[in-house]
Amino acid sequence: MAAKNQGGAILASAMVLALATGFAAYAVAQRHGPTGDTQRLHARFVSANGLNPGASVVMAGVRVGTVSRVFLDPKTQMAQVDFSIDRHLSLPQDTSLSIAAPSMTSENALAITPGTSHDRLQGNGMITNTQAPTSLEQQVSNYIFGSGIQ
């Protein structure tokens, strides 16, 4: 009898381990954003305070990419942000970017607001229509009044 119970315990443990492994793989895939075909873009900010490599790039509340690098450009004395988004997204030339947290408990993200221009950004393009990170006071106000990332 003990052998049957032991076999059942081993089978149940194996199933739990397989489920946990699957969940971990799914979580890692979600953290890294889109896989496969991506296009690289760049942006200049007066301040990129609170934005780190690995941060999400979001549009309309959906993760569409990942920040790969944040550094100070010695020529312009501005923060430069390199990021990748899904290659199938075609952004207008007048697209704007902002840095803010989608909720009070999450890390800052790079938020894309598509423009209206008929001209499109090319891969490796530079976006200069940017807004500095939202202050903590503004984030609290956005949270209270329900507007989140704009």
pTM: 0.67
Q: pLDDT per residue over 39-95, tens digit each?
A: 999 999 999 988 999 999 999 989 999 999 999 999 999 999 999 999 999 999 999
- Residue pair 107/133 in contact (Cβ under 8 Å)? The answer is no
Say if strands 62-73 and 56-59 run parallel, antiparallel, or are unpaired: antiparallel
Beta-carbon count within 10 A of 52 CB: 10
Say if strands 38-45 and 62-73 run parallel, antiparallel, or are unpaired: unpaired
Beta-carbon count within 10 A of 80 CB: 17
Residue 71: C-alpha distances to residues 98, 100, 104 (Å): 16, 18, 25
Average pLDDT, the chain: 83
DSSP 120: B
Q: How many residues does the chain have?
A: 150
